[in-house]
Structure 1
Amino acid sequence: MYKEREIVLAKLSIAIQVILTVLCFLAIGFITDSEEFKYLSSSRELKNAIVVITLLWYIILDIYGMGSVARTMGTSNIVKGYIKAVTTSVCFLFAVNIILRYQVFELTNLLYFGVVDLVLLILYNNSVFMLMRYLRRKGFNSKQILIIADKECIPNIDEIINTKDWGFQIWGIMSDCEEIKQKYVLDYNVISMRSNIKPLIDSNPIDDVIYCRSGVNQKEIKNYLDDCSEIGVGFHYQTKIGAFIKEKNGSPSMSRINTLPFISYKNAPDNYLELKFKSLFDFFFSLCVIVLTFPVQLAIAIAIKIDDGGPVFFKQERVGLNGRRFHCFKFRTMVVNAEELKAQLAGQNEQEGPVFKIKADPRITRIGRFLRKTSLDEIPQFLNVIRGDMSVVGPRPPLPSEVEKYERWQIRRLSMKPGITCTWQVSGRNNIPFTQWMKLDLEYIDNWSFKNDISLIFKTVKVVVVGDGS
């Protein structure tokens, strides 16, 4: 996935740079000779010129690897690369001017265009790098990793620490090396190799385990791989250690973490392009829902206040992607002291497993019954989606107390970002046994696609319209 991510980002970056280049070309034309350029703008010549520039810049920028940001090439190499790319492209345009006698490619305008475009592309690349570094260091879109290491891994650990903008944050280091303990114990969790990895990855927000020890047998790697695969945590080991290991719950792929080659296993969706598209859809769809339903939300808030005078919103800690904790927002549908009354009603629980459900829950308010039946109480969760804690479609976020009672195979439902709706919501909800609910979530993860997400959204709308919530 990491290799695929870099390829996708590079192609996207080049496409954006081509657009900036075309806009730069048009701007230079209007500024340097506006009357002539306005005349040419209605001709086929300018349209052909734009096509030539688009194709030429995309090819040349790709050849010189200018889709990479400064973190992978260094600032000096970035500048040199752009000088070569822009110079080559401008010279080619000048040759086209001589052969085809295009007026839009006159030498003076080409020189102005080349200089301005060079500066613009360098500024773009470095601006993207600075923005990514800022967001990564703030923890946005970052992965928490556990490194299984020995003395030879120290340079690799230092590289990850010094390049936080790559999106990797070290949760802990598993090693018995004294040098590693002394160097990192003050800043990171340093764990003994004799420790059982299962409770570490089960109860902590660890996204990936990176194995880079040397001189060990494949049986040890296979044990770690099995433990990670069962709950959907990514596992990566350096290619120098050995060949691919067979794993029933995941297929291997080649990847890079920073500059190091790894063999990677991931028992969860890892199509980078589709997942990014899902994230963009989540954000804009949720923003539209929040804006368009504002009058409805205002009416609900007033109704809740009139009903019992208590708070409008209910905030509750939930467990998200790979064990991350966040506060989930809903319109309050229960009495203010609902959590205190829960213990008294424990014997009336109608749902098996660690979840608590009562069909005729006496804690639900009058307005709350309507909100639950229509699912309108869940509108504030679109704020959680905008914040990045949730997705529109995904397994429902459980309570921490529920996760503590999960069987180990059920933890894998946390390997994908939780959602407002999923298969369970459109398949009967409380009529489905807990074990079957968990299996439905894992089936969703194993067969995930953006197309299936859209289908589930339409099915959810149908459930809301007919008032099948509970």
Structure 2
Amino acid sequence: MSLVVRPARASTTAVAAVSRPVFVGAPAGARPGFALVVAALDLAVLLVAFVTAHLVRFPVEVPDGSVTAGWVEFVVAPAIVVVWMTLLSSFGTRNARIAGVGNEEYRRLVTASLVAGAIVAIVAYAVQLDIARGYVAIAFPLGMALLAVERKAVRTVLARRRGRGERLQDVLLVGDAEDVRYVGRRIATTPVAGYRVTGVVTDCLSVGETVELGSARVAVLGGIDDVLDRASATGVSAVVVAGAVRGGHERLRRLGWQLEERGVELVVSSPLADIATGRVHERPVDGLPLMHVEIPDYRRRTGKRLLDVVGAGLGLLLLAPLFAVIALVIRLDDGGPVFFRQTRVGRGGRDFSILKFRTMCVDAEARVAALEAANEGAGPLFKMQHDPRVTRVGAFLRRSSLDELPQLWNVLVGSMSLVGPRPALPKEVAVYEDFADRRLLVTPGITGLWQVSGRSDLDWAEGVRLDLHYVENWSFLHDLVILARTIPSVLRSRGAY
């Protein structure tokens, strides 16, 4: 989370005292035509929605000299589109500062659309305008759906361009060395957010030293007292304050004013990491925005369990023929057992037996010690991209993630969930440190953030961070999103070995 302080409109006295340049801090993706392009796409999809509604509700007919049905809707549709477009603009849905990341854009989109529907309903009732309910029931839901799909497409294109280093907002990173490294790495690994660190300002390192931020190294340009000069010299559009700065709140407040005079945004990184915005509520106290963080709920959720039972039950029923084929192929491959059972640690530290299709030779566990030197896994995990113990059939099952399907039985009996942290081995739990055991507060899952973010390609620390993020910020909707993301992740076979 971060707090962005934008340059305010210049007052007469401020202009007299300081010569202000035109604001150059255009946010990532905020070229002059960005909002116009999005507006044109909005208009196109709304026209499609209303034309479709008209054709469905009032099929093309040529009655005997009578007035064609649907003429009222044909006349008022352009006015509705204008109202809807105006509200999309008024609610800031095309603001490039929220484009490409987070849920704020979609929240505003839904709010603007619902308000548009309410206005149409109120006006139609007030002037006794007889608009067919079927027409409205088609046009508005379809319009909202098409707008969401269109914005998703825009995000995809924008994310790809940002991933190539285009349409990024150059920023200066300010703070203590550790805070700078932490925030800088997160920025570097998330180009979709639209920031690019071009310099570091800190009192903890010497000028000219470089700081490793992800795959790049960024030079230290000066100390905290040099922020204004460095911002002007480098032409950045924003200064990101990572953590506390010398001088405290008053120094930060004055820094915001001084950057404002130069047309540079001030972005303040929150000290709260990996906490979903839904758990954070602002409580202003005499102009001081205090952030209240709700305690997460780790209780077993009825809705989640119902989804697990229904999903696992249907999965086992529908996939039974596939299970039979896989079992036959495994038996024909080397004659060994079909299933592989292994002890894992579940919710509350309780052991359970995880069920998988066997993908390795029957003496795989006994050969681990001999292969220890070739271990490519992170932390206590043992992983090899080209493990000689994997059978021919097993290699295919792993790439396609079909070996995980028997875990649906674990889900059905309650030892696992469809979505959750990665089920841990006892030897992993034995070396847990620094609150990593919080992963055991919830039921482990067949899939999770670790699954859709790289699986075996993730290092140990990143895998733990993703699991803890899931544990602390669970929501039913988040589970559905992860399930939806699992399908393309499995098809890409990223990190599956």
TM-score (norm 2): 0.40
TM-score (norm 1): 0.42
Choose between structure 1 and 2: higher helix proportion: 1
